[in-house]
């Protein structure tokens, strides 16, 4: 049986993620979190120095760590380019489809100083997370499969369209028609793959 303090901390984090998804990060306060989690504000402040400290820990532990494990499932850095990219897209889509709070926090992190603050807090260097993806892209760039670009550019080309599609999926989740299907996702993935491949390697 897990210690009660661990269960309580997990409950606090789950409630925080729920508030972020339903009301927006700007509406999350330590007082609101304490009330929703049915704990005293003092309990929150024992575990987290302030709201920023809470968000940093949520981002690293609940988003980056869990997402990294999910996105790398059955992925091998030595995979052929198309197969590797499809695996990354399918894993990411499946993870965020079932962890929408994490996606919301990830989107906030991308558009705020939260990501850099989180990395500085834990002394995380670029490439420490998702290292197999870094090596996968570097290997294909060296082999002439894709253009040589800084990793940040490869990451944007590979994941920005995917994240926009996931956002569309989540926004339509409560509507009668869902335009983002697994089949459409793979079609879009193939379009991204074709755009990244150097022409002589279109068969990859």
Is pLDDT of 165 > 90?
A: yes
Q: CB-based contacts of 49: which residues, under 8 Å, 6+ apart?
A: none
CB 36 within 8 A of CB 19: yes
Q: For the domain with range 1-48, which CATH number is right: 1.10.10.60, 3.30.2310.20, 3.40.50.720, 1.10.357.10?
A: 1.10.10.60
Pair 162, 92: CB distance under 8 Å: yes
* Packing angle of the helix pair 151-171, 131-142 (nearest 10 deg): 120
Confidence at residue 58, expressed as pLDDT on a 0 to 100 scale: 83
The CA–CA distances, whole Å, from 187 to 86, 93, 171 equal 10, 14, 20
Could you say which of 1.10.460.10, 2.50.20.10, 3.30.70.260, 1.10.357.10 is the CATH number of the domain covering 63-201?
1.10.357.10
Which residue reads 């260097």 in tokens? 125
CATH 1.10.357.10 occupies which residues in the chain?
A: 63-201
pLDDT of residue 54: 86
pLDDT score, position 11? 85
**Nearest to residue 154, comparing CAs of 63, 88, 104?**
88
Distances (CA, A) of 158 to 7, 122, 162, 170: 37, 26, 7, 20
Render pLDDT for 41-78 as a digit per residue (tens, 0 to 9): 888 988 888 888 888 788 777 777 888 899 999 999 99
pLDDT single digits (tens) 107-163: 776 666 666 766 676 666 555 678 899 999 999 999 999 999 998 899 999 999 999
Q: Which residues contact 153 (CB under 8 A, 6 or more apart)?
A: none
Of 141, 165, 164, 143, nearest to 153 by C-alpha is 141
* Amino acid 22: pLDDT: 83
Task: Tell me which of 62 and 191 has the higher pLDDT.
Answer: 191
Rounded CA gap, 5 and 10, in Å?
9
Q: Report which of residues 111 and 17 the model is more confident about.
A: 17
The Cα 137–Cα 35 span in angstroms is: 46
As annotated, the residues of the chain forming the CATH 1.10.10.60 domain(s) are 1-48
User: What is d(CA 28, CA 114) in angstroms, rounded to the nearest whole number?
Assistant: 15
39 in Cβ contact with 8 (< 8 Å):
yes
């Amino acid at each position: 049986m897990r210690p009660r303090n661990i269960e309580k901390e997990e409950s606090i984090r789950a409630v925080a993620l729920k508030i972020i998804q339903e009301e927006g990060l700007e509406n999350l306060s330590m007082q609101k979190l304490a009330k929703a989690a049915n704990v005293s504000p003092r309990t929150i402040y024992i575990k987290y120095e302030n709201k920023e400290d809470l968000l940093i820990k949520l981002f690293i532990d609940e988003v980056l760590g869990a997402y990294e494990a999910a996105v790398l499932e059955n992925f091998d850095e030595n995979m052929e380019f198309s197969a590797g990219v499809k695996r990354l897209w399918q894993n990411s889509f499946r993870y965020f489809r079932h962890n929408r709070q994490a996606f919301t926090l990830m989107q906030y992190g991308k558009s705020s100083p939260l990501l850099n603050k989180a990395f500085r807090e834990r002394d995380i260097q670029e490439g420490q997370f998702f290292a197999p993806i870094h090596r996968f892209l570097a290997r294909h760039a060296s082999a002439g499969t894709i253009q040589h670009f800084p990793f940040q550019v490869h990451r944007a080309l590979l994941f920005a369209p995917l994240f926009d599609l996931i956002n569309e999926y989540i926004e339509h989740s409560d509507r009668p028609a869902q335009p983002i299907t697994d089949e459409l996702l793979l079609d879009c993935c193939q379009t991204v793959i074709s755009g990244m491949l150097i022409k002589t390697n279109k068969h990859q």
